[in-house]
Structures are given as structure tokens and as C-alpha cells.
């Protein structure tokens, strides 16, 4: 480990153990006595670390004024548990990274974190291997598009995209110029929220439906504040979020209620248990497509009360499913 990592390790060992002998520090850092002496001297004289030698304990500890308090070196902010949490977060991010794009940029940070943990780094790596995310129906994104779009979002740069809209016959292909606003990861798929210059409005584009994406010279022409972006795109249910929402009223059976009641369907949902044990849920939606798909998972356990259009659409889906079974 380099000198910065050794400084961190010395600080962490003294903080966690209270008092650490010279021999224990040497074993943990795997350095010569001369190197360890120089490190301790530098910490005390250059970085104002309150490390002192305790003859009674034959070890190094923080000065009395710092005992029981949190002392940190300048620029060093993480405890061992916090490092473990960061490594876990890295593993979670890696599970979203099909093509290794994020990992390529994050690997130096990962190596640094493991170096700070020193001998415990191997144990930390084992911990991350025991964290697994299972994703179904994942739509993979072409790596060059993800990197291009991600860079444009960060740099606030316009994009020209070739986009295939989903629909009958494979979907129509169009070329658009957009001003990226944010990336959204939803149900194992990446989306771009952007101002479309052709339609003069906010639109959400699935990255896996992009056949081409290239930056355009010049900054994004529209940059919406986050509150306005959330107001326009986060009001409805699921990924179909732009527009004026309607409210759906759903009643789940008493057998399904205990489980469904623990789920968040929408941040603005309203819900309550009814006297007979059923659960009433009210949620906003703009497009019924995704809501209907989720309601079908609870077929036989949910009643669609309103609006009538949603109730009719749900009934038609059920009739079509039964007809397909009888065919």
C-alpha cells in the first residue's frame, strides 16, 4: 500500500482498537521499523494527528482530549464499516453495468478502497462476492450509446439520435435532436429524459431503442431545473409518466392486502385498510399500459373501482386472457 493508505490504516487501527503496539502496526502495514517511524512522525508533525505513545500500554493511541471522540485526517472520511458499505455499493452498481463501462472508471476507486482496508481487503472482496442481484427481462443497451448519452447528460451537450419507436411492424424510425436532462434506470432498463427539439417538449427515450447517438456541437439548448423535470415526468405511474395524471382506485382482497400494503406503487399514493381487511389504494397514472400489466399480476385479488376507462381496459385484458386459454 502507498503512504496515504498507510496513514489511513494507522488512523483506523488506533480508532478501532484504542491502543496499538508498534509490532502490531508493523504487521498490519507490512513495513520496516524505519518506515513506520517516519509515518508516525509525519502524522504527528505535518497532519496534526493526536497520536501519542502510552508507556503503560506499550502502544500508540490518540491523545486524551480525543479519546472517545471521532478524529479524522484531512481528506480521509471513511471508517472500516463505511468502506465495506462503499464496496457493497460498488457491487450493486456493477450489477447494472452490462458492458463494464462504469466499472472501468470505478475500478481505480475500488483498488484504493481495498488498499485502505489492507489485510481486511480480501475479506471485503469475499463479502462483495456474496451479494447477488437477480434481474429478469433485462434489455441490454449498446455500450457506445450508453457512454455517449451518459457523457452528454453530464456535460449538458446536445445529442442527435436515431430512434426506433416501439409499435406494430417493428416501430417507426426517426432522427431527433435532443437536449439531455437526466438518465433513469427503471426495471432493469436505462432511459434518457430529454427535451426534444422536434416536438418541443420533454420526452423519455429507451436507450436500447436508440440505433445511433452522436453529440452535436454546442451546449444543450434547454436545461430544466430538477423540480420542473420531476413535475413534468414523475407524476404518473411507472415509466409512462409525462402528462396530466388520472387517479386509479383499486381494492385488494383481504388475503393480498397484507403483502401489497407494504409496497410503494407511487410516491404520492393514498391508501388505507378497510374494516373488512381489504386494502384500498389510490395512485396517479398517465398511461394505463404499465399499470394494467401490474394489475394482471394480482388477477383475482384486485378490483378496479375507477376510473371507468381503466376498469373496462382491465376487464378486456382478463377476457382476452381467458379467450386465449380456451382457443
Per-residue pLDDT of the chain (327 residues; tens, 9 = 90+): 677 778 888 888 888 888 999 999 999 998 999 999 999 998 888 777 888 999 999 999 888 776 555 556 655 556 666 666 767 766 666 666 666 666 666 677 667 666 656 555 566 666 666 666 666 666 666 667 888 898 888 888 899 999 988 765 567 889 999 999 998 888 878 899 999 998 888 888 988 889 999 998 877 777 778 888 887 788 788 887 667 889 999 999 999 999 999 999 998 899 999 999 999 999 999 989 899 999 999 999 999 999 999 999 999 999 999 999 876
Dihedral of CA atoms 259, 262, 267, 272 in degrees, nearest 10, equals 80
Between CA 189 and CA 197, with CA 192 as vertex, the angle to 5 degrees is 150
Cα–Cα distance measured from residue 114 to residue 12, given in angstroms and rounded to the nearest whole number? 14
135-192 pLDDT, tens digit per residue, is 666 666 666 788 889 888 888 889 999 998 876 556 788 999 999 999 888 887 889 9
Dihedral of CA atoms 322, 323, 325, 327 in degrees, nearest 10, equals 170
Whether the CB-CB separation of 192 and 153 falls below 8 Å is answered with yes
**pLDDT of res. 213:** 92
Q: Is 172 helix (H, G, I), strand (E, B) or coil?
A: coil
**pLDDT of res. 146:** 83
Counting every residue, how long is the chain?
327
Mean confidence (pLDDT) of the chain: 82
Cα–Cα distance measured from residue 206 to residue 202, given in angstroms and rounded to the nearest whole number? 14
**pLDDT of res. 314:** 96
Amino acid at each position: 500500500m502507498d503512504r496515504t493508505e498507510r496513514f489511513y490504516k494507522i488512523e483506523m487501527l488506533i480508532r478501532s482498537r484504542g491502543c496499538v503496539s508498534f509490532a502490531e502496526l508493523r504487521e498490519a502495514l507490512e513495513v520496516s521499523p524505519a518506515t513506520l517511524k517516519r509515518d508516525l512522525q509525519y502524522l504527528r508533525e505535518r497532519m496534526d494527528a493526536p497520536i501519542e505513545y502510552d508507556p503503560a500500554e506499550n502502544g500508540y493511541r490518540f491523545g486524551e482530549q480525543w479519546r472517545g471522540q471521532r478524529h479524522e485526517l484531512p481528506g480521509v472520511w471513511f471508517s472500516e464499516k463505511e468502506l465495506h458499505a462503499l464496496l457493497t455499493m460498488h457491487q450493486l452498481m456493477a450489477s447494472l453495468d452490462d458492458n463494464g463501462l462504469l466499472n472501468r472508471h470505478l475500478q481505480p476507486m475500488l483498488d484504493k478502497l481495498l488498499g485502505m482496508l489492507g489485510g481486511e481487503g480480501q475479506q471485503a472482496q469475499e463479502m462483495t462476492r456474496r451479494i447477488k442481484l437477480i434481474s429478469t427481462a433485462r434489455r441490454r443497451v449498446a455500450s457506445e450509446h450508453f457512454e455517449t448519452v451518459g457523457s452528454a447528460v453530464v456535460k449538458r451537450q446536445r445529442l442527435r439520435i436515431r430512434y426506433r419507436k416501439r409499435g406494430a411492424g417493428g416501430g417507426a424510425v426517426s432522427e431527433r435532436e435532443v437536449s439531455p436532462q437526466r438518465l433513469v434506470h427503471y426495471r432493469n432498463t436505462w432511459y434518457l429524459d430529454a427535451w426534444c427539439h422536434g416536438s418541443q417538449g420533454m420526452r423519455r427515450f429507451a436507450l436500447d431503442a436508440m440505433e445511433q447517438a452522436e453529440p452535436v456541437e454546442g451546449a444543450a439548448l434547454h436545461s430544466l431545473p430538477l423540480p420542473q423535470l420531476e413535475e413534468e415526468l414523475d407524476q404518473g405511474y411507472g415509466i409512462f409518466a409525462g402528462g396530466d395524471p388520472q387517479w386509479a382506485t383499486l381494492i385488494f382482497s383481504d388475503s393480498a392486502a397484507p403483502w401489497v400494503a407494504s409496497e410503494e406503487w407511487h410516491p404520492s399514493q393514498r391508501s388505507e385498510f378497510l374494516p373488512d381487511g381489504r386494502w384500498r389504494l389510490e395512485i396517479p397514472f398517465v398511461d394505463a399500459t404499465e399499470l394494467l400489466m401490474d394489475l394482471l399480476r394480482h388477477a383475482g385479488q384486485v378490483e378496479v373501482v375507477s376510473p371507468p376507462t381503466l376498469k373496462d381496459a382491465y376487464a378486456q385484458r382478463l377476457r382476452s386472457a381467458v379467450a386465449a386459454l380456451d382457443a
